Every structure is written in structure tokens, then in C-alpha cells.
């Protein structure tokens, strides 16, 4: 998950203007018309997809708990979280990433304490497979 976060944030760092435009579209839905609303919807779906993929090893969780965790992870890895930490709080990239990583660990640890892992064989994916999944989920952004 941390490699995913690093990749996402690298994109944000390389194209901050585009990221801010996307954030504006998210913050002011409806102002850009139907096309803008569809783009925002696609962005939200892609972050949800990435959170699902990152948490595949926790597939044993009850549905409500898994959905809540996926939503929390999607929020933490999203562009608004990046923008708030980097510009709202003025954190350097490394500290902002550490803050998100700490939050992710604490959240996942908390869920795992409440729901101990049974004998569950989660699907194993290589870094390249995850990269391809991410790239296919990120097309047209």
C-alpha cells in the first residue's frame, strides 16, 4: 500500500496544477456540467478501486467493516488528503507521506484487533500486477 501511496503522490507532485483543478471539481460538483460530474465520479471510483485492491488480504472481514475500511483508506490516499497535508499544513512530501502511512497502519491495526485473522489465503499479487491494475484504473485522468 505504501508503494501505491508513493506512486499516487509522485503524480500529484509532478502535476500540482492538474491536481488542484481536480480538487476544485470535487469541491464544487455541478459547476463544470455533466462532463465534470462524470469525471469526479470516475476519480472517486478509481480511489475506491485502489483501496479495495490494497486491502484484498483483509477479504475475511465482515462486509460492513470491510466497506468502512475501504472508504477510510480511499479517503487517506486521495488527492484532498495530499493537498491538505502538503499545502494546508505545509508538510514536506516525506512527512505528509509518513502521516498518511501512520494513519493507515493505525486504522488497519485497529480493525485487525477487532477481527482477528482466520486461516484466510488472500490472493497474492506481484508489484507489476498491482501497477497494471492501478494504471488501468487510472486511464483518462
Exposed / middle / buried, residue 32 (Cβ in 10 Å: 0-12, 13-18, 19+): middle
The rounded distance, in Å, linking the Cα atoms of 107 and 99 is: 12
Q: Mean of the pLDDT values across residues 108-119?
A: 87
Q: What integer pLDDT is reported at residue 58 of this predicted model?
A: 86
pTM of the model: 0.66
Cell numbers 494513519 correspond to: 103
Instruction: Decide: 36 and 25 in contact? Cβ < 8 Å.
Output: yes
Q: Mean of the pLDDT values across residues 95-109?
A: 91
All cell numbers assigned to 64? 460492513
The rounded distance, in Å, linking the Cα atoms of 132 and 128 is: 6
Evaluate if residue 102 carries a pLDDT over 50: yes
Closest CA to 43 of 82, 14, 6: 82
> How many degrees, rounded to 5, is the angle at CA 22 between CA 91 and CA 104?
45
Q: Mean of the pLDDT values across residues 52-67?
A: 87
The rounded distance, in Å, linking the Cα atoms of 110 and 101 is: 14
The rounded distance, in Å, linking the Cα atoms of 138 and 73 is: 17
Evaluate if residue 110 carries a pLDDT over 90: yes
Residue 79's pLDDT band, with cuts at 50, 70 and 90, is confident
E-only strand ranges, 40-138: none
Distance of CA 25 to the CA centre of its chain: 18
The rounded distance, in Å, linking the Cα atoms of 79 and 32 is: 19
Amino acid at each position: 500500500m505504501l508503494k501505491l501511496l508513493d506512486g499516487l503522490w509522485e503524480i500529484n507532485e509532478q502535476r500540482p496544477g492538474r491536481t488542484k483543478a481536480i480538487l476544485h471539481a470535487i469541491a464544487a460538483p455541478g459547476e463544470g456540467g455533466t462532463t465534470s460530474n462524470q469525471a469526479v465520479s470516475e476519480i472517486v471510483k478509481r480511489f475506491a478501486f485502489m483501496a479495495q485492491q490494497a486491502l484484498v488480504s483483509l477479504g475475511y472481514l465482515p462486509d460492513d467493516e470491510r466497506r468502512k475500511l475501504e472508504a477510510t483508506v480511499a479517503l487517506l490516499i486521495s488527492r484532498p488528503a495530499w493537498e491538505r497535508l502538503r499545502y494546508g499544513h505545509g508538510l514536506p512530501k516525506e512527512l505528509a507521506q509518513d502521516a498518511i502511512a501512520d494513519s493507515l497502519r493505525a486504522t488497519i491495526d485497529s480493525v485487525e484487533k477487532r477481527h482477528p485473522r482466520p486461516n484466510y489465503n488472500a490472493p497474492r499479487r506481484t508489484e507489476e500486477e498491482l501497477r497494471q491494475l492501478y494504471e488501468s484504473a487510472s486511464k483518462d485522468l
